[in-house]
A and B are shown apart, each in its own frame.
Chain A
């Protein structure tokens, strides 16, 4: 494959091969953090950034890395990148770091980044790897935000609470109270709620996929030229 199929990569990252809903990776930080949509967005953005940078570095080094030492090399590189991001944000984006700081060390434990390094960036040229990193990151962020939103609405009746802490005052309008005077449903805020919500969302995605497939058959699976 000399000309990488970018449309395929984007589709894979966002839907078909979504980190959470298809590969079932990164569930540890996912369940820990997505008690609100804002937290999910924060972790998603930080993870995407690390994913893009690690895709770049590993793709540049891909011809030098041998299969025998690839895992320690990936882990080293990813850990170094995460630490650098952490330090740089602490120094120059201090306000953001105060909010996101909690999540950044969690990124090292994210097997999705290692997974992409192993299965994509170490085999593909730089540009496709960057696109893959960006869309996988976007897919992960979307999954986190959706899951966070579901848990936040059912668990505490709000949506994007504290978004202005993360994104600045201009995004204060995102903070919604969906269910006024909600007593709260603790189960959804705690980790078990994360499992439940993930399960339902997974089932939903399968349903959508199955329906799309059925429709294709009904229409007669067009022989597109």
Chain B
């Protein structure tokens, strides 16, 4: 190993500090550039994802507007991080056919789980999908529809036909399956969907109010 003699200036504290500072500067510059180059693209991708999950929870046949542009903001129920919930309203001929909104299950196994759910006029679940989560790969990630059909189990349920005590996983005496090795994740999701339906119930009248005519035109 032929280590070249280290020049004396490199032994000074000033050199270490300056060098570390330069590296920090270069790294942060690279990150800033990377962020600037990618942020629009990432925002676009997220919008596409949002559109894709929206079309999974509200069938396209139900509406003739663009729900992503028909947003109502309502105060979030207790327990969610965000202070308000964005509700996407799907209308047909100006009359609301279904709504979709994001809900958060704050009590996931490794952090909050973001979900989107669609609810029709009568308060029945049209569909629930996971937007993002950090659950254990191979265990808790069965809440993704691509990995397991479990999340489709909510379709068609409503507060009217499923009493309060059934909104639990089977282990807790409810009607929903838990996963092998992961009870906390499905428990959190079931709780959040129940919460979401109650949220819809509370704001039903405001959410189902017909769209103003201007809104219909702007969507066209």
Contact = CB atoms under 8 A, between A and B. Distances in A.
Interface residues of B, number: 33
The range of chain A's interface size is 35 or more
A77 B192 CA distance: 40
Contacts of B139: 35, 189-190
A162 interface: yes
A76 B15 contact: no
A165 interface: yes
Contacts of B34: 83-84, 87-88
B138 A91 contact: no
B62 interface: no
B30 A1 contact: no
Interface stretch (B38-46, B98-106, B120-128, B200-208): B38-46
A63 B2 CA distance: 13
A103 to B, nearest CB: 8
A76 B1 contact: no
B27 A1 contact: no
A88 B4 CA distance: 38
A115 interface: no
Query: What DSSP secondary structure best describes chain B's contact surface?
Result: helix
Contact of B181 (A87, A90, A186): A186
B180 A184 contact: yes
A213 interface: no
A80 B27 contact: yes
A68 B11 CA distance: 9
Interface in A113-163: 123, 162
B160 interface: no
Contacts of B220: none
Nearest to B141: A102
A84 B45 contact: no
Given A66-B15, A165-B146, A186 B180 contact: yes
A207 B1 CA distance: 33
A72 to B, nearest CB: 6
Nearest to B146: A165
B30 A90 contact: no
B109 to A, nearest CB: 12
Interface stretch (B18-26, B63-71, B89-97): B18-26
B9 to A, nearest CB: 10
A211 interface: no
Interface of B: 1, 4, 6, 10-11, 15-16, 19-20, 23-24, 27-28, 30-31, 34-35, 37-38, 41-42, 45, 49, 134, 136-139, 141, 146-147, 180-181
The 3 closest A-B pairs by CB, nearest first: A35-B138, A91-B41, A80-B27
Interface of A: 1, 32-33, 35-36, 39, 61, 63-66, 68-69, 72-73, 76-77, 79-80, 83-84, 87-88, 90-92, 94, 102-103, 123, 162, 165, 184, 186, 189-190
